[in-house]
Amino acid sequence: MTALYIILGVLAFFVLLYIFLVAPSGRRKKTAEFFALQNKYAHRGLHGEGVPENSLAAFELACRAGYGIELDVHVTKDGELAVFHDDTLSRVCGVEGKTESKTLAELKALKLCGTEECIPSFREVLDLVAGRVPLVVEIKGSKIKDATVCKLTAEMLDGYNGVYCIEAFNPMYVRWWKKNRKHIVRGQLGCKMTKESSGMGEPVNFVLTNMLLGFLARPDFIAYDLNEKKRFSFRFARALGGYPVAWTVRTEENLKATENCFKGIIFENIRP
């Protein structure tokens, strides 16, 4: 019997440890109130058919359609904020170089996807949206522990007269908001991380995939890859009260797959 008690004690310890590691904030009511305002968010704006992602035109179309907007914020070489998704410029702008190695003026001179639209500053986007629809602001950055992008984003949003929340893949960024802007709804982005997507080794990828650093940030919502919705870590965090948000919903089939699993969606290519 002594051996059995030891085994049960060890199992209980690891269960409690896992709960501690992945448990969300518990502010489900506050998060639900935010997503009750809008639970459908246009991924990088309402883009397509000559309207590029993360452009002022895409954001204007989303506002007119009444959708919330998900967008990405990078800090530039000169300490400004630009709205752009990738760490590099090749896919969207057709030029070499890292986003964060350019000044805001250099980024604004680049064209998006061969159109006349250029990379906007975060200030331009906030002035355009002007509180018409809620925002999900994804904090981007290549420096894991350098939270400069968080600080600059928070300072700009402090003066914004609209509704927003923040999210990030980097749990250290989410932690910064927990410590410095507790009243803002915050989300942890998640998916199956690989060496190619994260630039990290397998141990780090395992930790990030399974949200084992959740105790640092205690996110209010979990924005998880729709294709990974059956992953145990996501389902467990949801069971513990993490508000579930799906990305990226691209088809009617995807939309149907969100039923009974997700309370909010980030979409593109369709009009839910």
Question: Where in the sequence numbering do the catalytic residues fall?
Answer: 43, 85
DSSP state of 226: G
SS3 track for 79-128: CCEEECCCCECHHHHCCCCEHHHCCHHHHHCCECCCCCCECCEHHHHHHH
- Check: CB of residue 249 under 8 Å from CB of residue 34: no
Task: Name which of 62, 212, 27 is nearest 133 in CA terms.
Answer: 62
Cα 225 to the center of its chain, rounded Å: 11
Name the β-bridge partners of 249: 267
| Residues 53, 76: Cα–Cα separation, whole Å | 19
